[in-house]
Amino acid sequence: MRVLIVGGAGYIGSHVCKALAARGDEPVVFDNLSRGHDHAVQWGPLVRGDIRNAEELDAAFEAHQPAAVMHFAANIEVGEGQKEPLAFWDNNVAGVVSLLQAMKRAGCSSLVFSSTCATYGTPQSLPLTEDEPQTPINVYGRTKLAVEQLLADVSSAEDLRYAALRYFNASGASPDGEIGEEHDPETHLIPNALKAAAGLGGPMKLFGTDYDTADGTCERDFIHVMDLAAAHLAALDRLLSGAGSFQCNVGTGTGYSVKAVLDTVERVTGLPVPHDIHGRREGDPPRLYADVTRSRQLLDFQPQYSDLETIIRDAWNFHRIAWGVEAVKTG
């Protein structure tokens, strides 16, 4: 089976490509490489193109005749979205309009969409279920919610079946070290903690130690990127089997604190994590973790790699090579 992976040169998309190829399918990556990396495209062809360019999309559909599409081509950095909302709405929303039009022209009707728990905003109750009100508090979350609403509208009127997967904190790397997280700038906790441990870029910033949590730092639901990839394959298979459209959380149901992450980084690497304590960031809830009942029911999904130590060990295995610090002692 051939699948068009839009944004497949990025972090999550490349891991999905790896998982598809491992089971014998062919991922075709469509990416403009503005955020992704050509060296992460290893398991199928790379078509360089922009999701907003109808001619480039049509050419990709004509040449490769995919059975389905997976979408990862979004701007994701929250702070950037607050400063450049037009760019986020153009790529994250107008880009999906363009993609859906191309899918319609090509007669391709199955889409797995990468959504986010940021569509919920500040949670009213925990764990977060899919029925939690969606009241996003930043541009990134609003663009993802807009696409979910767009998909619902189109699927009610057109031949479209979709899965919207609301990620929690994607983390880790391919266990064999082939691919991993390479954002620029990097805003995610685990790679920044590892970078600080490796002595690259100075101390990490820790935002808030006075939350109403066990150790005063925020708690988040970290899911290994390979588990996330497995959830995408299960969602794809569900759609192609004829099931209707659906939305579901993809997380573990367990929250780990920032301090627990730093402690685990120190244990795995055998190195201290220099960090400076800063005040809370606006909009950061104390706790955020998923109710995973629906993903278990619909996808038979059970994370295999998402204990914190495995996540950090796999991330460190990738990063210390990527950063040229292979000789650094590990614990």
Predicted pLDDT of residue 326: 59
Supply the residues annotated as catalytic: 140
Mean of pLDDT values over 212-223: 95
- 3-state SS, one letter per residue, for 231-265: HHHHHHHHHHCCCCCEEEEECCCCCEEHHHHHHHH
- Does 16 score more than 70 pLDDT? yes
Q: What is the pLDDT of residue 327?
A: 45
Residue 330 is predicted with a pLDDT of 45
pLDDT band at 325 (very low <50, low <70, confident <90, very high): confident
Secondary structure element (H or E) that encloses residue 60, with its range: helix 54-64
Question: Domain limits of the chain?
Answer: 2-171+223-250
How many residues does the structure list for the chain?
331
Flag whether pLDDT at 25 surpasses 70: yes
Tokens of residue 20, six digits:
């598809």
Which candidate, 214, 237, 233, 229, places its Cα nearest to that of 286? 214
Beta strands in the chain (DSSP E): 2-6, 26-31, 46-48, 68-71, 110-116, 161-167, 169-171, 204-207, 219-220, 222-224, 246-250, 256-257, 275-278, 287-288
- Reply yes or no on whether the pLDDT at 152 is more than 70: yes
Beta-sheet pairing, 219-220 with 256-257? antiparallel
For the cut 80, the answer to whether the pLDDT of residue 14 exceeds it is yes
Region of poorest pLDDT, from 102-116, 290-304, 315-329: 315-329
What superfamily in CATH does domain 2-171+223-250 come from?
Answer: NAD(P)-binding Rossmann-like Domain (3.40.50.720)
Rounded to whole angstroms, the Cα distance separating 42 from 219 reads 35
pLDDT at 153 over 50: yes
Mean pLDDT of 173-189: 92
**268-319 pLDDT, tens per residue?**
999 999 999 999 987 788 999 999 999 999 999 999 999 999 999 999 999 9
- Statement: residue 185 has pLDDT above 90: no
Would you give the DSSP letter of residue 132?
S
Round to whole Å and give the CA distance between 68 and 291.
Answer: 28
Placement of tokens 């051939």 in the chain:
2
pTM (predicted TM-score): 0.95
Q: pLDDT at position 109, please? A: 98
pLDDT of residue 73: 96
Mean pLDDT of 22-29: 98
**The pLDDT value given to residue 284:** 82
Could you write out the DSSP letters of every residue in 186-233? ---HHHHHHHHHTT-SSPEEEE-S-SSSSSSS-EE-EEEHHHHHHHHH
